[in-house]
Amino acid sequence: MKLLIVANWKINPQTIDEAREILNEVKKEVGNIKKSEVIICPPFLYLPYWVEFFTKKEQKIKLGAQDCFWEEKGAFTGEISPLMLKNLGCQYVIIGHSERRKLGETDEMINKKIKAALKAKLVPILCIGETEKEKKTGKTFKILTNQLKKSLGSILNSKFKILNSFIVAYEPVWAIGTGNPCSSKEAKKVFLFLQKFFG
Protein backbone atom coordinates (compact mmCIF):
# COMPACT_ATOMS: atom_id res chain seq x y z
CA MET A 1 0.00 0.00 0.00
CA LYS A 2 1.27 3.46 -0.97
CA LEU A 3 1.07 6.44 1.38
CA LEU A 4 -0.70 9.38 -0.23
CA ILE A 5 -0.51 12.92 1.08
CA VAL A 6 -3.21 15.15 -0.39
CA ALA A 7 -2.77 18.90 0.11
CA ASN A 8 -6.07 20.70 -0.45
CA TRP A 9 -5.33 24.43 -0.63
CA LYS A 10 -9.03 25.36 -0.60
CA ILE A 11 -9.13 29.09 -1.53
CA ASN A 12 -5.57 29.83 -0.46
CA PRO A 13 -3.32 31.71 -1.03
CA GLN A 14 -4.79 35.02 -2.08
CA THR A 15 -2.17 36.08 -4.63
CA ILE A 16 -0.17 34.49 -7.42
CA ASP A 17 3.06 35.71 -5.81
CA GLU A 18 2.22 33.78 -2.63
CA ALA A 19 1.42 30.72 -4.70
CA ARG A 20 4.81 30.97 -6.39
CA GLU A 21 6.52 31.18 -3.00
CA ILE A 22 4.81 27.99 -1.91
CA LEU A 23 5.76 26.32 -5.19
CA ASN A 24 9.41 27.23 -4.63
CA GLU A 25 9.35 25.79 -1.10
CA VAL A 26 7.74 22.58 -2.33
CA LYS A 27 10.33 22.21 -5.07
CA LYS A 28 13.12 22.49 -2.49
CA GLU A 29 11.62 19.68 -0.41
CA VAL A 30 10.60 17.32 -3.22
CA GLY A 31 13.84 15.37 -2.93
CA ASN A 32 13.04 14.44 0.67
CA ILE A 33 9.93 12.51 -0.33
CA LYS A 34 10.86 8.84 -0.24
CA LYS A 35 8.01 6.40 0.25
CA SER A 36 4.96 8.54 -0.35
CA GLU A 37 3.23 10.39 -3.14
CA VAL A 38 2.11 13.98 -2.73
CA ILE A 39 -0.95 15.33 -4.52
CA ILE A 40 -1.33 19.11 -4.59
CA CYS A 41 -4.86 20.48 -5.12
CA PRO A 42 -4.63 24.26 -5.50
CA PRO A 43 -7.48 26.57 -6.55
CA PHE A 44 -8.36 26.28 -10.25
CA LEU A 45 -6.65 29.61 -10.95
CA TYR A 46 -3.24 28.26 -9.92
CA LEU A 47 -3.38 24.90 -11.71
CA PRO A 48 -1.49 26.14 -14.81
CA TYR A 49 1.40 27.30 -12.61
CA TRP A 50 1.85 23.80 -11.24
CA VAL A 51 1.80 22.30 -14.73
CA GLU A 52 4.59 24.65 -15.82
CA PHE A 53 6.51 24.31 -12.56
CA PHE A 54 7.22 20.61 -12.33
CA THR A 55 9.36 18.56 -14.67
CA LYS A 56 9.03 14.87 -15.48
CA LYS A 57 11.79 14.12 -12.98
CA GLU A 58 9.53 15.26 -10.15
CA GLN A 59 6.84 12.63 -10.54
CA LYS A 60 6.46 12.25 -6.78
CA ILE A 61 4.28 15.34 -6.77
CA LYS A 62 1.03 15.05 -8.70
CA LEU A 63 -1.52 17.66 -9.64
CA GLY A 64 -5.12 17.48 -8.50
CA ALA A 65 -8.22 19.66 -8.62
CA GLN A 66 -10.62 20.45 -5.78
CA ASP A 67 -13.79 19.60 -7.69
CA CYS A 68 -15.24 19.06 -11.16
CA PHE A 69 -18.60 19.00 -12.94
CA TRP A 70 -20.23 15.95 -14.52
CA GLU A 71 -20.62 17.32 -18.05
CA GLU A 72 -17.82 17.70 -20.59
CA LYS A 73 -19.27 20.88 -22.08
CA GLY A 74 -22.39 23.02 -22.17
CA ALA A 75 -24.07 26.00 -20.56
CA PHE A 76 -22.93 25.46 -16.96
CA THR A 77 -21.67 28.80 -15.69
CA GLY A 78 -18.80 28.59 -13.24
CA GLU A 79 -18.21 24.86 -13.64
CA ILE A 80 -15.05 22.99 -14.69
CA SER A 81 -15.25 19.80 -16.72
CA PRO A 82 -13.08 16.75 -15.96
CA LEU A 83 -11.84 16.83 -19.55
CA MET A 84 -10.58 20.41 -19.08
CA LEU A 85 -8.70 19.31 -15.97
CA LYS A 86 -7.20 16.29 -17.71
CA ASN A 87 -6.12 18.35 -20.72
CA LEU A 88 -4.50 20.86 -18.37
CA GLY A 89 -2.40 18.15 -16.75
CA CYS A 90 -4.37 17.11 -13.67
CA GLN A 91 -4.27 13.48 -12.60
CA TYR A 92 -6.55 13.58 -9.56
CA VAL A 93 -9.74 15.36 -8.51
CA ILE A 94 -11.35 15.67 -5.07
CA ILE A 95 -15.05 14.79 -5.16
CA GLY A 96 -17.62 14.92 -2.37
CA HIS A 97 -15.65 17.06 0.07
CA SER A 98 -17.67 17.86 3.21
CA GLU A 99 -17.59 21.56 2.36
CA ARG A 100 -19.19 20.79 -1.01
CA ARG A 101 -21.79 18.61 0.70
CA LYS A 102 -22.62 21.52 3.03
CA LEU A 103 -23.40 23.58 -0.06
CA GLY A 104 -25.99 21.02 -1.11
CA GLU A 105 -23.98 18.51 -3.12
CA THR A 106 -25.77 15.15 -2.96
CA ASP A 107 -24.49 11.59 -3.26
CA GLU A 108 -26.27 11.39 -6.61
CA MET A 109 -24.38 14.44 -7.90
CA ILE A 110 -21.16 12.97 -6.54
CA ASN A 111 -21.86 9.73 -8.41
CA LYS A 112 -22.19 11.62 -11.70
CA LYS A 113 -18.98 13.50 -11.02
CA ILE A 114 -17.06 10.30 -10.26
CA LYS A 115 -18.27 8.67 -13.48
CA ALA A 116 -17.32 11.76 -15.48
CA ALA A 117 -13.88 11.89 -13.84
CA LEU A 118 -13.22 8.22 -14.59
CA LYS A 119 -14.32 8.74 -18.19
CA ALA A 120 -11.78 11.57 -18.49
CA LYS A 121 -9.14 9.24 -17.00
CA LEU A 122 -8.79 11.25 -13.80
CA VAL A 123 -8.45 9.51 -10.44
CA PRO A 124 -11.34 10.61 -8.20
CA ILE A 125 -10.60 11.11 -4.51
CA LEU A 126 -13.99 10.38 -2.94
CA CYS A 127 -14.45 12.01 0.46
CA ILE A 128 -16.71 10.34 3.00
CA GLY A 129 -17.35 11.13 6.65
CA GLU A 130 -19.89 11.52 9.40
CA THR A 131 -20.96 14.53 11.47
CA GLU A 132 -20.51 14.81 15.24
CA LYS A 133 -24.20 14.05 15.80
CA GLU A 134 -24.02 10.94 13.62
CA LYS A 135 -20.90 9.79 15.46
CA LYS A 136 -22.43 10.31 18.90
CA THR A 137 -25.55 8.35 17.94
CA GLY A 138 -23.49 5.41 16.70
CA LYS A 139 -24.33 5.89 13.02
CA THR A 140 -20.79 6.21 11.68
CA PHE A 141 -20.67 3.01 9.66
CA LYS A 142 -24.26 3.30 8.49
CA ILE A 143 -23.53 6.79 7.15
CA LEU A 144 -20.28 5.72 5.51
CA THR A 145 -21.98 2.71 3.91
CA ASN A 146 -24.76 4.87 2.51
CA GLN A 147 -22.31 7.44 1.18
CA LEU A 148 -20.21 4.76 -0.52
CA LYS A 149 -23.17 2.94 -2.06
CA LYS A 150 -24.87 6.08 -3.35
CA SER A 151 -21.72 7.90 -4.43
CA LEU A 152 -20.27 4.92 -6.27
CA GLY A 153 -23.54 3.34 -7.42
CA SER A 154 -23.06 1.01 -10.38
CA ILE A 155 -19.28 1.43 -10.15
CA LEU A 156 -19.38 -1.05 -7.26
CA ASN A 157 -20.57 -3.70 -9.70
CA SER A 158 -17.96 -2.81 -12.30
CA LYS A 159 -14.85 -4.68 -13.26
CA PHE A 160 -11.99 -4.93 -10.77
CA LYS A 161 -9.94 -2.48 -12.84
CA ILE A 162 -12.46 0.33 -12.30
CA LEU A 163 -12.69 -0.39 -8.57
CA ASN A 164 -8.95 0.25 -8.40
CA SER A 165 -9.20 3.55 -10.26
CA PHE A 166 -10.31 5.77 -7.40
CA ILE A 167 -9.31 6.69 -3.85
CA VAL A 168 -11.54 6.86 -0.79
CA ALA A 169 -10.56 9.51 1.75
CA TYR A 170 -12.05 9.34 5.24
CA GLU A 171 -12.90 12.89 6.23
CA PRO A 172 -14.61 12.92 9.65
CA VAL A 173 -16.67 16.12 9.61
CA TRP A 174 -16.64 16.26 13.42
CA ALA A 175 -12.84 16.60 13.43
CA ILE A 176 -12.49 19.40 10.88
CA GLY A 177 -11.53 22.71 12.46
CA THR A 178 -12.88 21.64 15.84
CA GLY A 179 -9.67 21.03 17.77
CA ASN A 180 -10.89 17.46 18.25
CA PRO A 181 -8.70 15.38 15.92
CA CYS A 182 -9.55 11.86 14.83
CA SER A 183 -7.45 9.40 16.83
CA SER A 184 -5.42 6.65 15.17
CA LYS A 185 -7.71 4.12 16.87
CA GLU A 186 -10.81 5.68 15.30
CA ALA A 187 -9.12 5.95 11.90
CA LYS A 188 -8.09 2.29 12.08
CA LYS A 189 -11.70 1.23 12.68
CA VAL A 190 -12.76 3.06 9.52
CA PHE A 191 -9.83 1.61 7.58
CA LEU A 192 -10.86 -1.93 8.58
CA PHE A 193 -14.47 -1.12 7.66
CA LEU A 194 -13.35 0.04 4.20
CA GLN A 195 -11.26 -3.10 3.72
CA LYS A 196 -14.30 -5.21 4.53
CA PHE A 197 -16.63 -3.08 2.38
CA PHE A 198 -14.50 -3.47 -0.73
CA GLY A 199 -13.71 -7.09 0.10
Which residue among 58, 97, 99, 186 is the active-site one? 97
3-state secondary structure of 81: coil
64 neighbors 94 (Cβ within 8 angstroms): yes
Q: Note if 105 is an active site residue.
A: no
CA distance 35 to 7: 16
Q: Note if 171 is an active site residue.
A: yes
SS (H, E, C) 25-53: HHHHHHHHCCCEEEEEECCHHHHHHHHHH
Angle (nearest 5°) at CA 10 between 149 and 14: 165
Which residue among 21, 52, 108, 171 is the active-site one? 171
Q: Which residues are catalytic?
A: 97, 171
